[in-house]
């Protein structure tokens, strides 16, 4: 039985499959000939400095930026140009710092924001059932954020807001989660609390493919065991964590004399020499 289950997994299409993608924005080529694959159930990081093309990559995966003719982009086995993107996006949980600007629109509570994930809206515009509210509380619980249910998002810290946004994204039972620099606005304590929560739900959701976008090496938890480094819109390195996160690759990507220090938890911290 175990062998058959493994074979079934191997026969699944990749969660992300990009071939020869070039993306132009504002007349400039932002991504240059990107070919990349993430298998279903993998935990993958994408690392790069500001301007490396990370945000454009995410926009392409969500169908908000299109590569030039000749490229192929498929997500969860659905090829762009042959799929209803609105329906596909319901299977993708996208958490981005861009969403923070939406949180100030009204005094939404944490519960209302999480429930709005069912409709793909920012904020709640209908009555909800007891079953839906129970599920929303369950999602908050997975992130140890039940106490935020009745708080307004405007009174929450950035870290608390990110937890609510992740819980919101989980409401549709997604197959792919894209965490787009979730720690960018957090202080050290807030970051560590959030990373601990990400580790916990990654451990409890083995079927969920997670792509973690960051510009900081220390944010990359050991659970993200494959990855890619971008530099100026090109793939600088790609593969297993141990062959991708090397001092040589990081020096080339960031243009700094970086030395890595490995902690006992197998995370990396950087020293600039």
Model pLDDT for residues 109-163, shown as the tens digit of each residue: 889 889 988 877 666 778 889 899 999 999 898 888 999 999 988 888 888 888 8
**Predicted confidence (pLDDT) per residue in 29-87, tens digit:** 999 999 999 999 999 999 999 999 999 999 999 999 999 988 999 999 999 999 998 88
Is the pLDDT at 10 greater than 80, yes or no? no
How does pLDDT run across 86-112, given as a tens digit for each residue? 888 888 988 887 676 666 667 888 898
Tell me the DSSP string of 3-50: HHHHHHHHTSPPSEEEEEEEEEETTEEEEEEEEEEE-TT-EEEEEE-T
Dihedral of the CA atoms 51, 56, 58, 63 (nearest 10)?
Answer: 170
Taking only the tens place, the pLDDT of each residue in 166-185 is 888 888 888 999 999 988 88
More confident of the two residues 221 and 102? 221
- How does residue 193 score in pLDDT terms, banded at 50, 70 and 90? confident
Give 268's strand partners: 262
* pTM greater than 0.75: yes
Quote the percentage of the chain above a pLDDT of 90.
Answer: 58
User: pLDDT tens digit string along 223-270?
Assistant: 999 999 999 999 999 999 999 999 999 999 999 999 999 999 899 999
Cα end-to-end span (Å), the chain: 53
Instruction: Give yes or no for residue 207 having a pLDDT over 60.
Output: yes
What are the angstrom distances between the C-alpha of 153 and each of 61, 143, 163, 227? 28, 16, 11, 33
Q: Is the pLDDT of residue 194 over 70?
A: yes
Average confidence (pLDDT) over 206-232: 95
Q: What pLDDT, on a 0 to 100 scale, did the predictor assign at position 102?
A: 66
Write down the pLDDT at residue 3: 38
* Confidence at residue 180, expressed as pLDDT on a 0 to 100 scale: 92
Instruction: Report d(CA 2, CA 92) in Å as an integer.
Output: 28
- Give CA–CA dist 155/161, Å, rounded: 9
How high does pLDDT run on average in the chain?
A: 88
* pLDDT at 119 (0 to 100): 77
């Amino acid at each position: 039985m175990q062998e058959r289950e493994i074979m079934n997994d191997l026969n699944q299409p990749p969660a992300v499959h990009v071939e020869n993608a070039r993306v132009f924005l504002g007349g400039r080529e932002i991504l240059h000939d990107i070919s990349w694959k993430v298998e279903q159930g993998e935990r993958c990081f994408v690392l790069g400095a500001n301007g490396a093309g990370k945000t454009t990559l995410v926009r392409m995966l969500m169908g908000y930026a299109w590569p030039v003719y000749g490229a192929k982009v498929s997500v969860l086995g659905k090829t762009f140009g042959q799929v209803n993107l609105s329906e596909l996006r319901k299977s993708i949980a996208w958490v981005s710092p861009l969403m923070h600007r939406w949180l100030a629109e009204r005094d939404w509570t944490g519960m209302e924001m999480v429930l709005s994930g069912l409709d793909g809206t920012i904020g709640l515009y209908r009555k909800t059932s007891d079953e839906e509210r129970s599920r929303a509380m369950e999602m908050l619980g997975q992130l140890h954020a039940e106490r935020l249910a009745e708080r307004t998002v405007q009174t929450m810290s950035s870290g608390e807001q990110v937890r609510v946004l992740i819980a919101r994204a989980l409401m549709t039972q997604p197959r792919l989660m894209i965490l787009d620099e979730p720690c960018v606005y957090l202080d050290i304590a807030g970051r560590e609390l959030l990373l601990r929560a990400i580790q916990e739900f990654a451990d409890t959701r083995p079927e969920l493919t997670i792509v973690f976008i960051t510009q900081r090496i220390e944010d990359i938890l050991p659970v993200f065991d494959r990855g890619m480094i971008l530099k100026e819109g090109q793939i600088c390195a790609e593969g297993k964590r141990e062959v991708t996160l090397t001092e040589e690759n990081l020096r080339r990507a960031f243009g700094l004399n970086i030395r890595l220090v490995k902690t006992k938890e197998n995370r990396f911290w950087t020293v600039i020499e």
